Amino acid sequence: MQENELTQTPQREQMVHTDGLELWAQEIGDPAHPTVLLVMGAQAQGIQWNAGFVRRLVDGGLRVVRYDHRDTGRSSTVDFAARPYTVADMASDALAVLDAFGVDRAHLVGASLGGIIAQLLAVTHPHRVQTLTSLSSQPLGTDTAAAVQRVMAGEAPLRDELPPPAPELLAALASAFPQPGSGIEDYLAARLPLWKVLHGPVLPFPRDEYLAMERRVYQRARDLGAALNHTFAGASGTGRSTADLASVTAPTLVLHGTEDPMFPPAHAEATAAVIPGARLVLIEGMGHTLPSTLDARLADEILCHVTHD
């Protein structure tokens, strides 16, 4: 479903002011309905939550709020060298978005780094989290940056260390960011091979869908290169360990693809194992992306979760 197919659904946009920044945010659906906050992953914009997925959540009785992280889309960009920030700061941004829409408690759905942000909030601000869905993510406190460094150095993984990203993904990431000032066609040519690896080898690859999404990303961004700051923020850690997830009281769903090249399924299994009562659902054939062919399956899983908490 294309983005313009949401035009018949009640929605409101605003710029949320917090920590000296502006964050683009959008509310879709009836404000009287329970709120689900969608938290995207590293370097991703809020509009990368598919319109079809959003529409299904709204039709299921939810008010959806999605937003652009700092350094992405229409939100403010940051001089990271002069003003570094952490994942905890990005979690504070999520709370600021909820505050701006007058939401005391929300269902949190976080993808990839967004899953870490959602987990962190479930630990540090449990009164704000009605339910938690960790999607295509990993356990809070996992040091993926160190694991990748060991892979690049040809070192063996540490004992009991969760598996690092697949080698083919690391290779694709190395060439996925064109030089600043590159035109849109050069940008798309650099990005498409990355999406092919992230998508995984099982499900048919919807090339045109990813190209259309990346065109929107390119057109909306204040500064495409600023999103790389999320890598630095992620490498700084969260100040929390995986063991802290044992304190999570929100009903938790862990959704993950069997073909995820970024965080192999062992990451989902580890997350579900430490959060009390968490339910793990593995999606056969899904990689580290959210193609529209999975909109219905993912929305149905989340709606079932939030309506039975």
Q: How confident is the model at residue 77 (pLDDT cuts 50, 70, 90)?
A: very high
Residues 234-285 pLDDT 10s: 887 788 999 999 999 999 999 999 999 999 999 999 999 999 999 999 999 9
Distance CA 59, CA 48 (A): 19
Q: What is the pTM of this model?
A: 0.95
- CATH for 3-306 (3.40.50.300, 3.40.50.1820, 3.30.1450.10, 3.20.20.70): 3.40.50.1820
Residues 98-130 pLDDT 10s: 999 999 999 999 999 999 999 999 999 999 999
Distance CA 215, CA 16 (A): 25
Pairing of strands 63-67, 252-257: unpaired
Q: Can you say whether the dihedral through the CA atoms of 86, 87, 88, 94 is positive or negative?
A: positive
Q: Where are the domains of the chain?
A: 3-306
Q: How confident is the model at residue 309 (pLDDT cuts 50, 70, 90)?
A: low
Q: From 71, 91, 70, select the one nearest 140 (Cα to Cα).
A: 91
Residue 294 pLDDT greater than 80, yes or no: yes
Contact residues for 59 (Cβ-Cβ < 8 A; gap 6+): none
Q: How confident is the model at residue 194 (pLDDT cuts 50, 70, 90)?
A: very high
The CA–CA distances, whole Å, from 109 to 18, 66, 237, 303 equal: 21, 10, 20, 11
For the chain, how many residues are written? 309
Question: Which residues are the active-site residues?
Answer: 112, 260, 288
